[in-house]
A and B are shown apart, each in its own frame.
Chain A
Amino acid sequence: MEQTRKDARGIEHRQGVNVCTFYLNGMQASVNASPLARVVDMLRDQLHETGTKISCGIGRCGACSIWVNGQLTSSCLLLAYQVEGKEVTTIEGIGTEERCSIVQEAFINEGGFQCGYCTPGMIMATEALLKQTPDPSDEEIRDGLSGNICRCTGYSGIIRAVKAAAARLA
């Protein structure tokens, strides 16, 4: 018989089933998943939160970028057990079509995307950069986005967007 217990944080664990429980964009999420499941697969295939993309699968392109406890990371290199009990933020937690964030607005206005497939990851990286470094130098912008590949824009529009967002946030 299935048993449940609560841990110190009040999160419920079902015994005998691999349940991964974490906070996704502020809401508690429980997923039946092997502790070794990739977080990107858990998000996309089980929770159908497909804003997080999958492209290289080896942590090189940044399309699957999310935050774990506020830290930017590649969700293709992250396993379910590593997010247990943690705060996970994905692109769905940044803004909505009706209420875009300042960074998202800037990407729209400055031509910071084309096909849009790298965009969620690029925005997660930009938001993380501007949280830490509100007034980044050119070098800091390039450092902050160096883990994300865009094949369409050639980055010029992205840099314009980051600068515009930084100026508005200042």
Chain B
Amino acid sequence: MKQPEYQRRPDAEPKVTGSLKYLTDRFEDHMLIGKVMRSKHPHARIKNIDTSAAEAIPGVYAVLTHKDVPGLNRFGIVMPDQPVFCEDRVRYTGDAVAAAAAESAEAAEKALAAVVVEYEPLPVLDSVEKALSPGAEQLHEMGNILHEAFYTRGDLQQGFADCTCIVEETYQLPRQMHGYMETEGGVVVPGQDGGISVYMATQHGFKDRFQLSRILDTPEEKIRIISSPIGGSFGGKDELNLQPYGALLALKTGRPVQVHNTRKESVRAGLKRHPMAITMRTGADESGRVLAHETTIYADTGAYATLGPAILEFAVEHASGLYPIPNIKTTGVSVFTNNGVAGEFRGFGGNQVTFALEGQMDRLAEKLGMEGGQLRFINMRKPSDAGPLGQEIAPTDGGKMVLDDVAAWQQLPLSNTGEPPWLKNGRGGAVSMHGGGLGYGRLDPSGGRLALTKEGKLEAAFGFEECGQGIVAVIETVMKEAFSCNDEDIEITIGDTSKVPVSGSTTASRGTGMIWTAVENMKALFSRQLLTEASRVTGTAAADLYLGAGGIHKSGTESSLFLSYKALAEYVQAGDIETHTSFDFPVTPDEIDSGHYLYSFGGVSAEVEVNLLTGAVRVLDLKQSVSAGPVVYPQGYRGQIEGGGIMALGYTLMEDAVMEEGRYQTENFDTYLMPGVKDLPDNVTVKPREEVMEGDTYGPRGVGEIGTIAVAPAIAEAIYQAIGARPKKLPVSREWILHQIQQRGLLPWNKPEKMLGG
């Protein structure tokens, strides 16, 4: 697609001048401040809760506990198992026990400090091993296993028997934090009719409305969710967070209530990426054909379900990635613990298994005496091959395309010159395949609405959220292309359940594709509506009219405006020119639960510099090749891959929300380290591979996640190329690097025999 070099996002000026009001910036008259009290213990019984002293504190308007929840005292997207307020048991330190609304934050905090909770501590199950050990306390009625997922095909035993080369490894993946700069929060405003308006970020307004309706025992029609703009989400704000507390406090006090997590509160209660331990055994014959692949995944899902089951299924699906291996057995277990709740996070379980899978490919290649790229070419899927679960998918050659790029990049010379001798460079590459949409068997509806407003704007309405990714720029770009209009002709309506149609969630890399599809579906009818009305108004045959900048233009005349949209709007009633579409995300025809149909592909090449004296790893060069269909908005596409790449660099080298005995040891950005500008590689390249197969009508695939998937294995391989040791645990620590350097005697004055205790 041709694009002007610079195309401004519709939200550009408000964002760079600070004039944009985020939902946590809102201020209402008579607004109270709400605060939530979280559990003191990772695991305990609650024997008693006494709020009387708290209620007596001046300036305090309400103190709430589980007794004050009118409806279901639970939430959770897949199954509602997380208490809004705990009744008799707490399962992690983010569990809410009480909440208060007061004239000031200080008064609300004072009130919560005066709530007396009697706890009886229980044994803390702070690891998967403890939670699964015989006799362990059962965290839920269903036990300590949230979900198990399996996939098998072929004959694994025979497959391994036919292999001449087998590698086995266990990979450890950390608890990554989303680290969105705007913490959770906003304002809830009670209405006259017992309803509420909830001004808080989410990735799916209608789903929040549904969950809140259940909690508040209030019809959905009485709940309005205003959920954009969002100061970053990355999956982390898809589940409910502070909405129930703001809503309950507002309804109780009859006043607007602002709730806004401090960073520490956000870390304590918020979701993280699932820590996983993944064991893979992978075998190939002497020609390098991978014949057998066995995977076992243990995921620490924390205290409650949220999207844990779906993430596990995604990980199981992607365990064999882009390689159609004939004999596969994959087992996934998602385990409840007393750790922080793990849930949705950009990549959705794909990051973890791809690190393991690509690690296996490099280990196998080495053992076979071939290049990693060569082994991948031998095993790469063909365009018409089935998906990883054997399901029919949209034909694609994306895997091969990105691998071509990675293989070419691997040939580039290293950027160091051998001086100084304590800096060692290495380059590595990896590829990935990532399903878009929610998968087979899940409700995944989408849709949109186009209308001519009474002010003469072409309104594009979608139930999507703007969390930074640039969905507003995507809408604008697609509209301009469909109707040859100007920016000023377009009015974008998103992020408000009282105004938008059902479009499904702003997750799973689905927004861009769904907007493109919706406008494709509507553009002929909407154009015809506009032209027919313009013809009626002007008496000119519709065939002589066409749509252009500012409104209706007439053929055969100088290209100037014939009838502006504003003028046209004066002749028509609201709703006269309006069209809708609703459809489902494309899904595989095969009845295979959670199987995807549209996939994107990412190839990564990374060059690192390892400092043998300090163990520090610096990424010098990060190149990504992406196959996700045509690019809609180039600046946004590039930004998603660049930003996703650096987020994944953090995942690989520095990020881990460490927990000990069920308590976060990293409570803020001083100890939880995310990449800063100094961690940015000298060179970052994004190469879109836009080609799709002939006859492919699915348009753009969305790139919100793909830039985060294959970065870790590429960096890990680069580290191996530099120092000869293969990382299997993320983040790769300096201590581990130094230990490997010592063991290998890479420093002339520090030979292994000189080491004490080796």
Contacts and interface: CB of A to CB of B under 8 A. Distances in A.
A51 B19 contact: yes
Given A50-B18, A94-B17, A148-B677, A55 B263 contact: yes
B664 to A, nearest CB: 15
Interface in B185-234: 229-232, 234
B520 interface: no
Given A58-B669, A142-B677, A151-B179, A114 B19 contact: no
Given A50-B21, A113-B16, A151-B232, A158 B643 contact: no
B668 A50 contact: no
Interface string B158-183: 00000000000000000000111111
A156 B642 contact: yes
Given A113-B16, A116-B231, A158 B181 contact: no
Q: Does more than half of chain B's interface fall in helix, strand or loop, or is it mixed?
A: loop
Contacts of A42: none
A117 B17 contact: no
Given A56-B263, A115-B467, A155 B17 contact: no
Given A60-B670, A115-B468, A142-B677, A152 B232 contact: yes
Given A61-B181, A91-B18, A114 B263 contact: no
A113 to B, nearest CB: 5
Nearest to B5: A109
A152 B264 CA distance: 20
A149 B646 contact: no
B27 A96 contact: no
A155 B646 contact: yes
Contacts of A118: 181
Contacts of A100: 13, 16-17
A123 B20 CA distance: 15
B181 A117 contact: yes
A38 to B, nearest CB: 11
A67 to B, nearest CB: 14
Interface string B655-673: 0000000000000111000
Interface residues of B, number: 56
A91 B643 CA distance: 24
B262 interface: yes
Contacts of A107: 16
B77 interface: no
Contact of B643 (A94, A142, A152): A152
Contacts of B232: 114-115, 117, 151-152
Interface in A54-99: 55-58, 60-61, 63, 90-92, 94-97
A97 B14 contact: yes
A151 B180 contact: yes
B18 A52 contact: yes
A44 interface: yes
B262 A151 contact: no
Interface string A130-155: 00000000100110011011111111
A159 interface: yes
Interface in B316-375: none
B639 A157 contact: yes
A88 to B, nearest CB: 14
Interface string B6-36: 1011011111111111100101000000000
Max count, chain B CB within 10 A of own CB: residue among A44, A52, A157: A157
A109 B550 CA distance: 24
B545 interface: no
Max count, chain B CB within 10 A of own CB: residue among A44, A61, A151: A151
B645 A154 contact: yes
Contacts of A155: 646, 675, 677, 680
Interface residues of A, number: 54
Contacts of B8: 108-109
B128 to A, nearest CB: 28
B463 interface: no
A53 to B, nearest CB: 7
Given A55-B263, A57-B263, A115-B182, A159 B17 contact: no
Interface in B664-692: 668-670, 674-678, 680, 682, 684
B469 A114 contact: yes
B390 to A, nearest CB: 36
A151 B181 contact: yes
Interface string A19-33: 000000000000000
Contact of A153 (B230, B639, B674): B639
B181 A63 contact: yes
B639 A152 contact: yes
B181 A149 contact: yes
B680 A156 contact: yes
Contacts of A95: 16-17
A48 interface: yes
B680 A115 contact: no
Nearest to A91: B18
A118 to B, nearest CB: 5
A74 B140 CA distance: 44
A115 B180 contact: yes
B13 A53 contact: no
A111 B19 CA distance: 18
A117 B229 CA distance: 10
B182 A96 contact: no
B647 interface: yes
Max count, chain B CB within 10 A of own CB: residue among A58, A94, A116: A116
Contact of B677 (A48, A92, A159): A159
B23 to A, nearest CB: 11
Contact of A90 (B18, B675, B677, B682): B18
A146 B676 contact: yes
Contacts of B25: 44, 50
Nearest to B233: A115
B262 A57 contact: yes
A153 B181 contact: no
B729 interface: no
B231 A146 contact: no
Contacts of B9: 108
B470 interface: yes
A28 B179 CA distance: 36
A152 B183 contact: no
Contact of B647 (A61, A92, A96, A151): A151
A104 B17 CA distance: 7
Max count, chain B CB within 10 A of own CB: residue among A60, A90, A115, A158: A115
Nearest to B177: A151
Contacts of B638: 111, 157
B644 interface: yes
Max count, chain A CB within 10 A of own CB: residue among B13, B180, B229: B13
Contacts of A114: 232, 468-470, 639, 643
B635 interface: yes
Contacts of A123: 16
Interface string B385-408: 000000000000000000000000
A123 B13 CA distance: 13
18 contacts: A50-B18, A53-B231, A55-B183, A55-B669, A57-B668, A61-B669, A108-B6, A113-B15, A114-B232, A115-B467, A118-B181, A119-B15, A149-B181, A149-B676, A151-B674, A153-B642, A153-B643, A154-B642
Given A56-B668, A156-B684, 9 more contacts: A52-B18, A55-B669, A56-B263, A58-B669, A91-B17, A100-B13, A116-B16, A149-B674, A157-B639
A-B CB proximity, top 5 nearest: A51-B18, A115-B468, A154-B646, A117-B231, A116-B15
